[in-house]
Amino acid sequence: MSDVRVGIVGVGVMGADHAERVVRKTSGARLVAVSDADQARAEELADRLPETQGVGSAARHAGGSSYGDGIRVVEDPLDLIAADDVDAVILASPGFAHAEQLFACLEHGKPVLCEKPLTMDAASALRVVEAEHKVGRQLIQVGFMRRFDPEYAALKQLLDSGDLGRTLLLHNVHRNRSVPPSFRSEMIVRDSMVHEVDVARWLFGEEITRITVYTPKPTSLVAAGAFDPQLAVFELASGAMADVEVFVNFQVGYEVRCEAVAERGSATIGLGSGVFTRAGEHWGGAMPADFRVRFEQAYDLEVQRWIDATARGEIDGPSAWDGYAAAAVCEAGIESLSSGKPVDVALADRSKVLG
Amino acid sequence: MSDVRVGIVGVGVMGADHAERVVRKTSGARLVAVSDADQARAEELADRLPETQGVGSAARHAGGSSYGDGIRVVEDPLDLIAADDVDAVILASPGFAHAEQLFACLEHGKPVLCEKPLTMDAASALRVVEAEHKVGRQLIQVGFMRRFDPEYAALKQLLDSGDLGRTLLLHNVHRNRSVPPSFRSEMIVRDSMVHEVDVARWLFGEEITRITVYTPKPTSLVAAGAFDPQLAVFELASGAMADVEVFVNFQVGYEVRCEAVAERGSATIGLGSGVFTRAGEHWGGAMPADFRVRFEQAYDLEVQRWIDATARGEIDGPSAWDGYAAAAVCEAGIESLSSGKPVDVALADRSKVLG
Amino acid sequence: MSDVRVGIVGVGVMGADHAERVVRKTSGARLVAVSDADQARAEELADRLPETQGVGSAARHAGGSSYGDGIRVVEDPLDLIAADDVDAVILASPGFAHAEQLFACLEHGKPVLCEKPLTMDAASALRVVEAEHKVGRQLIQVGFMRRFDPEYAALKQLLDSGDLGRTLLLHNVHRNRSVPPSFRSEMIVRDSMVHEVDVARWLFGEEITRITVYTPKPTSLVAAGAFDPQLAVFELASGAMADVEVFVNFQVGYEVRCEAVAERGSATIGLGSGVFTRAGEHWGGAMPADFRVRFEQAYDLEVQRWIDATARGEIDGPSAWDGYAAAAVCEAGIESLSSGKPVDVALADRSKVLG
Amino acid sequence: MSDVRVGIVGVGVMGADHAERVVRKTSGARLVAVSDADQARAEELADRLPETQGVGSAARHAGGSSYGDGIRVVEDPLDLIAADDVDAVILASPGFAHAEQLFACLEHGKPVLCEKPLTMDAASALRVVEAEHKVGRQLIQVGFMRRFDPEYAALKQLLDSGDLGRTLLLHNVHRNRSVPPSFRSEMIVRDSMVHEVDVARWLFGEEITRITVYTPKPTSLVAAGAFDPQLAVFELASGAMADVEVFVNFQVGYEVRCEAVAERGSATIGLGSGVFTRAGEHWGGAMPADFRVRFEQAYDLEVQRWIDATARGEIDGPSAWDGYAAAAVCEAGIESLSSGKPVDVALADRSKVLG
C-alpha cells in the first residue's frame, strides 16, 4: 500500500470539501475515515463519496481491492486520530475542539492539517506549539491556504526576488458578499482578518508588533451594534506596515486583494489576472511564455476527466469525429493558403459514417 | 487494484508532461509503462519519475506493493498498447505514427487519449472514425484540451445558456512567442489553427463548411517565403462565422483569446480574468460568489502539497507557530476593536519556545 | 476682428453639437450664422445658444460689442457660405447636399469642415477633389474625427515610432447599441464601416486595394433581409490587412476598438475605463451609450484644431482625397456585400489628379 | 468687450501652463497681463505666447484689434491685480505670497483662481475666509482641480446618486515618480496629501475631524530622516473614514487612485487605460509621467468653468472655506506626523464664520 491514508475530523462545509478533494483530485492520497459530531452527516458523506468517484468506486465495490472497506465512519474523533489505518489527519472540526484533537495528533505522531484557527486563543495555541516542539518534529500545518494560491505565491516570489526593492506597505481588502447575523464583530477579526494577519506575516517574513482596528460608521445592512466594515493598521517589527479593510457584508461578492508597495513599484493580486505590477514606468502583467503555462490547468483537467471517464467506460471529451472534422477543415485551409481563395470543406456525411 | 493503469507512447515535451501529470496530479491513475523511439529518453523518464513522486516513490521501492515494478519501458509501442497491465493509452507520439497506434488501440479495446492531430490527413482520420464505429464503442479522445480550460468551459456554458441570444461571430487570436525556423506555413494551419477549428466547431456546435486563409505581408522576423501571421475566415453550416489570427512569431509571449459576439452582447476569454462580457450596458465580469470559488485551486494545491510532504515526513506550509502568532495578533486586534486604540502584540519569544 | 467667424449648415444632432462646441468650448472661434432646411430648428438654436453661453451672452446683449447681432439664421445655405462675415463653414447637412455646398465653399474660398461622407459616391467625391485642386489650396477637411481621439492619436504615434516594428494587421470592432429600422445594410458600409476605412488608411498610411464584405447569419433583432453584423477584410497596397466587425444593433452600447498587430507586439485602444465598479455581483464599468459620449473629446479637439489651422490658412486633418478614397472603398464594399466576393477598389491615380 | 480678461501672477511651471490654457484652449477668455518675481521669465512667456496662438496671433499683430497690445508684463503683482483691464486673476505664485495677493483681489473685487495652498497656515486661511465674507460675495476659488477631472466627477455623481448606498470608506493612493531632495516630510502632507484631504471632504460632503499620519519604514531611495511613504487615516464627522497612501518617490510614474467603498458596492477611479500594449513580454500600459499628463483635462475644465462662472459673477468650484479646511487638516496631519498619534482637527465653526 502506498497512498497516504487520510482521516477527516469534521465534515461540515469545509471538511466535506476536503473529503471530495482527497477522493477525487489528490494524487497519492486515500480517504479512509471520517468523524463528525453529527454522525448522520458523516454517514451520508461516506455513503455518497464512493458512489461518484469513478474508477475508485467501481473497484471499491468489486471487492477484494485495497479499497474494499470504503470510508469508515468513526464516532469518536480521538479514535479516528488513533486508528492504525489513518496515516494523517485533516481537522475541520469547530475551533473549540482543535486543542484536544491536536494534542491527540501529537501524541500519536500523526501529521495534521488543521483548519484555522489553530485554537481559540493565543495561550492555548502557544501550548500546542510547545507540545509539538517537545515531540521533536513538525506535525502540524495550519490551513492558511492563501499561501498556496498561485497569485499569492507569485506575489511572494516577486517580492522575495528583490526586483522591486524592499517591500514597504501592504494594502489588503477582504470582502464577503454577506455573513449570517450571528457573525459578530470579534469574528470579523478572528475569522476573516486572521487571513490578512497571516498574509502580512508571510509576505514580510516578520512578526506584527502592533495593531489598530478602526471602526468606521457601519453599513446600514447589518444589525445595530455590529462593526462592519473594519479598517486595521498592522505595524511590523521592522517598521513596515499594512492596512486592511475587512467588510463581510459587501453584498457584491467575494473579493480578496493585496497590493504590495515596494521601493521601485507595486504589485497587486486578486484582480483575477495574475500579478498586476506598476513598475519600470508601466502598469500591467506578464504574458505567459508558452501554452504549457497558459493551459496547465486545462491539461490537468483533461487528463483527470479522461481517467475518470475511462474508469466508467466512457468518453468525456472531443471524439475521433472531432479529430477527423478538424483535419478536413485544415486540409481545406492549406489549399486556401496556397490559392488565396475560399475552399469548401469536404466532410463525410456523419450520419452515414456513424450510422 | 483500482487505479487506471496508463501507458504513454511518446515522451517528448508533451508526453513527458503527461507522464508527470499522471504520476503527480491525477487521482485514480497510475503510470505503468512508457515507450519512445528514443529509448534512452524513455529510460531517463522512467528512472526519474518515481524518485521524485513522494509517497508513491517510497512505497514503490518498498517492494511487495502493486507499484513494485515501477514504470516499465517498452521498446515497441504496439507491445505497450497490447500489454495486459495497460488499461488505457496516451498517444503523444509524432502525428505520422498515430494512425497505426490508434488502430492497435481499437483492436485491443484500449481507451486512448490521442494528442492532436488525430492523423496526418482527413482521409486516414476518417478511416479511424470508421474503424472505431465498427468496434461499437467510443475509445478515442482527441487532445483538444482547450475544452477543459476553465475559461473556455465558462464561455461555452455562457453561450449555451442563451443569456446573450444566439452566437453570431467569433474573433479568435492565437499567438506564440516564436517557433523554430522549420515550422512551415502549412504547419501554422495544421498545428496551430487546428485548435481554433475545434474551438469554433465546439462553441457553435456545428461544422465548418468553408475556409479562407489570407496571408498578410509577413513579419520580417521569419524566413522569406513563410506566411506568418495568417488570417482565416471560417463559415459554419448555419451561416455563423469566425475570423482567426494565427501569429506564431509574435515575440511577446503566448496569447490565446476568443471573443464570441452574440445577439445581446459579447464575451471574451483569454484576457486572464475569467469571462469578460459586454452585456446589459456594462463591460466586466462576475465576482466570485465565495471563497471556495476564488480559492478552489489554492485548496487543491494545499492538500496535494500537504499529502506530498506528509509522505516525505515533512511540513510544507504554515506551521503551528504561524497559527499561534496569528492568534496573538487577533487577540490584540479584538482589544483594539473595543478600545479604538493601538494595541501592542504580546508574542512569546520564539527562540525560547522553539529552542 | 480676431476670432474665426463660423457658419454652420445643418443643425440636426451633429450640427447642433458643433454649434455648442464652437460657442462654449472653442478658443478663437465665434458662431455667427446657422442654416437648416428646418428653419424653426435653426431659429430655436440661435435663440437658445446665446442665452446660456456665459460671458459672450452678457456682452452680446450689452449692445455695441462685436457680438451685437448674435447668431444669424440664414435661409439659403449657399447664402450663408457666401456671406462676408462667415470666415469658415461647418457642413453638417445631409450627405446628398454636400456636393453643391462644397463647390460653393470652394468658389468662395471658404475653409470647410465637412461631416462625412464627403459626397454620396466616389465619382462626385473625385470631382470635389479635382475642383479643390484647381483652387490651388486645400480648403476641405473631412469629419473623420477619430484621428483626433487621444487614444487613436496615441496609437498612431506608437505605430509610427517603429517601437513595435512594422504594423501587420488591424482588428477593428465597431458596435452601436441599435439603429432605426430604416438603417439599411448598405448604410452599415457607407456610414459606419467608412470610419474603419479611414482608420485603416490612416494608421497604415496607404490605400486599401481590395475589400471583402462577409454577411454572417444576421442577428434576429433586425428586420428580415438586413445584414447585421458584417465582417469585412481590407487588403492594403503593401499587403497589410485589416478585419472589421460592424454590428449596429449590438444592444449593449457603443463600442469602438482597434487592435494593431505589429512585428514585435500589439496595441489596443477603445477598452475604456472611467469608473470601475464592483456592484450587483459584477466588476466592470459602463459602456458608452453612443458615439457622442465616446468621442466627445475627439470632436472638441477636431474643431479646436480646425479653427487653429484655419486661422493659419492651413488644413490639419483628413483631406478631400481622404473623403474620396473612403467613398471608393465603400462603393467596392457595397458591391462585395451583394456579391459576397472580394472586390478590387478602383481608385483614381493620385499623382495624376493632384498633379 | 466680451471676453474675460485674465491676469496671471506667477508663471513658473503651473502658471505658464495656465497661460497656455487661457490663450489656446479656453473659450471666452483672454490673457492680458502676467507678473512674476522673475521678470525675464514673464517677458519670455509674454513674447512667446502670441506668436504661436493661431488666429489670435494674426489678429493681434494686425493692429487696431482689441488684442492690439498683446500680453503686458506687470512688475508688481499688486498692480496687476488692481489694473482696470484685468477682470479676473489666476494666482500661481508661491504659497507664501498668496495671503497678501488674495486680500488685494478681495479689495478690488476681482474673482481669483488661487492655486493651492490658499495660504501657508490655517489661521491666515481663516482670515481670508472672513475677509471674503465681509466683501459679501464669493470671489475666491481654490485650485483643487481634481473635482473637475471627468473620472472624479463621475465618481462623485455615482456616489451622490445613492445607487451604491451610503459611502463608508475611501482608499486613496497618491504617488509621484520622484521629488527633489528638498521636498521635506511636512511637504508631503501640505502639498500632496492636501489633495486627498479635499477629495475626502468633497466626496463625503463633510469635514474631517481627526487625522493620524503613520510613517512606515521609509524607502531607501530618499535621504535619511525623510518619511516617505506616509499612510494616513482620516476620520470624518459622521464616522466615515479614509485611508491614504502618499508616496512621492515611487520611481514608476504618477498615480492617483481612489476607491470608494459603499454599502452595496465599490467604485474605483484612476486605473487609466489609453493604449493597451502587448510587447516586451508584458501586457499593460504606460504610467503617466506626472500630474500634468494625468490631470490635463481636469485643468482645462477647471479654467473653462471658472471663466464661465466668472462671466456670470459666480463661483463654480472649491471655495475659500475649502482652502481653509484643507489647511486645518494638514496642520493637524503635520502634528500627527511628528507625534505619531491621532490629532483632532480644530476647525472654526462654519456657521459663525460665514454667518
How many other CB atoms are there within 10 angstroms of residue A52's CB atom? 12
Q: Are D60 and D98 in contact (CB under 8 A)?
A: no
CATH architecture of A146-286: 2-Layer Sandwich (3.30)
Cα nearest neighbour of A250 on chain C: C279
Domain D4-145+297-318, what fold?
Answer: Rossmann fold (3.40.50)
pLDDT at residue A280, rounded to an integer: 87
> Residue C85: what are its φ and ψ, rounded to 5°?
-90, 10
Coil/strand/helix, residue D235: strand
Q: Does domain B146-284 have CATH number 3.30.360.10?
A: yes
Q: Are A31 and A22 in contact (CB under 8 A)?
A: yes
Cα nearest neighbour of B250 on chain D: D279
pLDDT at residue C293, rounded to an integer: 87
C neighbours by CB contacts (3+ pairs under 8 Å): A, B, D
Any C CB within 8 A of D23 CB: yes
pLDDT at residue D270, rounded to an integer: 92
Task: Answer positive or negative: Cα dihedral of D280, D285, D286, D287.
Answer: negative
Treating both helix axes as pointing N-terminal to C-terminal, what angle do D194-204 and D150-161 enclose, rounded to 10 degrees?
30
Any C CB within 8 A of D312 CB: yes
Coil/strand/helix, residue A139: coil
A232 with B140: Cβ contact below 8 A: no
Interface of C with D in 146-205 (CB under 8 A): 150-151, 154-155, 158, 163-164
The interface predicted TM-score (ipTM) is 0.90
Length of chain C equals 355
Cα B107–chain centre separation? 28
pLDDT at residue A50, rounded to an integer: 67
pLDDT at residue D293, rounded to an integer: 87
A284 with D287: Cβ contact below 8 A: no
Q: What pairing do the DSSP bridges indicate for beta strands D140-142 and D112-114?
A: parallel
Any B CB within 8 A of C221 CB: yes
Please name which of D229, D236, D139 lies closest in space to residue D197, comparing C-alpha atoms: D236
C216 with B239: Cβ contact below 8 A: yes
Q: Are B46 and A18 in contact (CB under 8 A)?
A: no
Is residue B139 scored above 50 in pLDDT? yes
Any D CB within 8 A of A209 CB: no
- A201-238 pLDDT per residue, tens: 999 999 999 999 999 999 999 988 899 999 999 999 99
Per-residue burial over D6-32, b = 16 or more CB atoms within 10 Å of its CB, e = otherwise: bbbbbbeebbbbbbbbbbbbbbbbbbb
Q: Give, as one character, the DSSP assignment of residue C288.
A: P
Any B CB within 8 A of A24 CB: yes
Average pLDDT over residues B79-93: 97
For residue B96, count CB atoms less than 10 angstroms from its CB and return exposed for 0-12, middle for 13-18, buried for 19 or more.
Answer: exposed
Return d(Cα D132, Cα D126) in angstroms, integer.
10
A336 with B21: Cβ contact below 8 A: no
Of B166, B278, B284, Cβ closest to residue C283: B284
Any C CB within 8 A of A253 CB: yes
Any B CB within 8 A of D278 CB: yes
Return d(Cα A247, Cα A249) in angstroms, integer.
6
D280 with B252: Cβ contact below 8 A: yes
- B246-269 pLDDT per residue, tens: 999 999 999 999 999 999 999 999
- Judging contacts by C-beta atoms under 8 Å, the chain A residues touching residue D164 are none
- Judging contacts by C-beta atoms under 8 Å, the chain A residues touching residue C278 are 252-253, 255
pLDDT tens by residue, chain C, 355 residues: 379 999 999 999 999 999 999 999 999 999 999 999 999 999 999 999 964 443 443 333 333 333 445 899 999 999 999 999 999 999 999 999 999 999 999 999 999 999 999 999 999 999 999 999 999 999 999 999 999 999 999 999 999 999 999 999 999 999 999 999 999 999 999 999 999 999 999 999 999 999 999 999 999 999 888 999 999 999 999 999 999 999 999 999 999 999 999 999 999 999 877 888 988 888 888 988 898 888 999 999 999 999 999 999 999 999 999 999 999 999 999 999 999 999 999 999 999 999 8
D251 with A263: Cβ contact below 8 A: yes
Cα nearest neighbour of C213 on chain B: B233
Cα nearest neighbour of D281 on chain C: C265
A neighbours by CB contacts (3+ pairs under 8 Å): B, C, D
- B176-196 pLDDT per residue, tens: 999 999 999 999 999 999 999
Determine if the peptide bond prior to D117 is cis (ω within 30°).
yes
Read off the amino acid at residue A181: P
Q: Which CATH class is domain B4-143?
A: alpha beta
Cα C101–chain centre separation? 17
pLDDT at residue A59, rounded to an integer: 39
- A39-80 pLDDT per residue, tens: 999 999 999 996 444 344 333 333 333 344 589 999 999 999
Shortest distance, CA C244 to any CA of chain D (angstroms) = 19
Cα nearest neighbour of C310 on chain D: D55
**Spatial strand order in the sheet of B140-142:** B72-73, B29-35, B4-9, B88-91, B112-114, B140-142
Ranges of chain D whose pLDDT falls below 50: 1, 51-68
**Spatial strand order in the sheet of C140-142:** C72-73, C29-35, C4-9, C88-91, C112-114, C140-142
Cell matching residue B212: 479562407
Cα nearest neighbour of A254 on chain C: C281
DSSP string, D326-345: HHHHHHHHHHHHHH-S-EE-
pLDDT at residue B153, rounded to an integer: 94
- Judging contacts by C-beta atoms under 8 Å, the chain D residues touching residue A286 are 281-283
pLDDT at residue C54, rounded to an integer: 38
> Residue C352: what are its φ and ψ, rounded to 5°?
-75, -40
- Judging contacts by C-beta atoms under 8 Å, the chain C residues touching residue A253 are 278, 281
Listed in order, strand segments (DSSP E) in chain C are 4-9, 29-35, 72-73, 88-91, 112-114, 140-142, 167-175, 208-214, 230-236, 241-247, 255-262, 265-269, 276-279, 282-286, 343-344
**What is the H or E stretch that residue D279 is in?**
strand D276-279
Cα nearest neighbour of C172 on chain B: B171
pLDDT at residue C50, rounded to an integer: 67
Contacts of D91 (CB under 8 A, 6+ apart): D9, D10, D98, D101, D102, D105, D112, D113, D114, D115
Any A CB within 8 A of B135 CB: no
Of B173, B229, B282, Cβ closest to residue C168: B229
How many other CB atoms are there within 10 angstroms of residue D217's CB atom? 17
Any A CB within 8 A of D209 CB: no
Listed in order, strand segments (DSSP E) in chain A are 4-9, 29-35, 72-73, 88-91, 112-114, 140-142, 167-175, 208-214, 230-236, 241-247, 255-262, 265-269, 276-279, 282-286, 343-344
* C interface test, pick of A252, A336, A339 with most C CB neighbours within 10 Å: A252
D281 with B255: Cβ contact below 8 A: no
Coil/strand/helix, residue A207: coil
Shortest distance, CA B314 to any CA of chain A (angstroms) = 7
Of A28, A152, A189, Cβ closest to residue B55: A28
0.90 surpassed by pTM: yes
- Judging contacts by C-beta atoms under 8 Å, the chain A residues touching residue C264 are none
Please name which of D204, D205, D196, D301 lies closest in space to residue D255, comparing C-alpha atoms: D196
pLDDT at residue A334, rounded to an integer: 92
CATH architecture of C4-145+299-319: 3-Layer(aba) Sandwich (3.40)
- C1-57 pLDDT per residue, tens: 379 999 999 999 999 999 999 999 999 999 999 999 999 999 999 999 964 443 443
Cα nearest neighbour of C29 on chain D: D27
- Judging contacts by C-beta atoms under 8 Å, the chain D residues touching residue B342 are none
- A296-330 pLDDT per residue, tens: 888 899 999 999 999 889 989 999 999 999 999 99
Contacts of A249 (CB under 8 A, 6+ apart): A176, A177, A178, A179, A219, A221, A222, A228
Any A CB within 8 A of D120 CB: no
Any D CB within 8 A of A288 CB: no
* B interface test, pick of A213, A234, A343 with most B CB neighbours within 10 Å: A213
Any A CB within 8 A of D273 CB: no
Shortest distance, CA D334 to any CA of chain A (angstroms) = 19
> Residue B39: what are its φ and ψ, rounded to 5°?
-60, -40
Return d(Cα B229, Cα B214) in angstroms, integer.
9
Cell matching residue C341: 466576393
Of B219, B245, B282, Cβ closest to residue C286: B282
Average pLDDT over residues B40-44: 97
**Residue D284: strand pairing partners:** A284, D277
Domain C147-294+325-353, what fold?
Answer: Dihydrodipicolinate Reductase; domain 2 (3.30.360)
DSSP string, C136-187: TS--EEE--GGGGSHHHHHHHHHHHHTTT-SEEEEEEEEE-S---TT--HHH
Q: Which CATH class is domain D147-291+324-353?
A: alpha beta
Q: Are D334 and D186 in contact (CB under 8 A)?
A: yes
Of A130, A148, A190, Cβ closest to residue B330: A190
B neighbours by CB contacts (3+ pairs under 8 Å): A, C, D
Shortest distance, CA D306 to any CA of chain C (angstroms) = 11
Q: Are A326 and B116 in contact (CB under 8 A)?
A: yes
Residues of chain A above pLDDT 70, percent:
94
Where are chain C's structural domains? Answer: 4-145+299-319, 147-294+325-353
Any C CB within 8 A of B221 CB: yes
pLDDT at residue B1, rounded to an integer: 37
C243 with B231: Cβ contact below 8 A: yes
Residues of chain B above pLDDT 90, percent:
78
Of D247, D284, D289, Cβ closest to residue A285: D284
Return d(Cα C174, Cα C171) in angstroms, integer.
10
Q: Cα angle vertex A105, ends A99, A109, to 5°?
A: 145
Q: Give, as one character, the DSSP assignment of residue C117.
A: P
Please name which of B251, B237, B185, B186 lies closest in space to residue B208, comparing C-alpha atoms: B237
pLDDT at residue B127, rounded to an integer: 96
Contacts of B198 (CB under 8 A, 6+ apart): A318, A322, A326, B116, B144, B146, B147
Return d(Cα A232, Cα B272) in angstroms, integer.
31
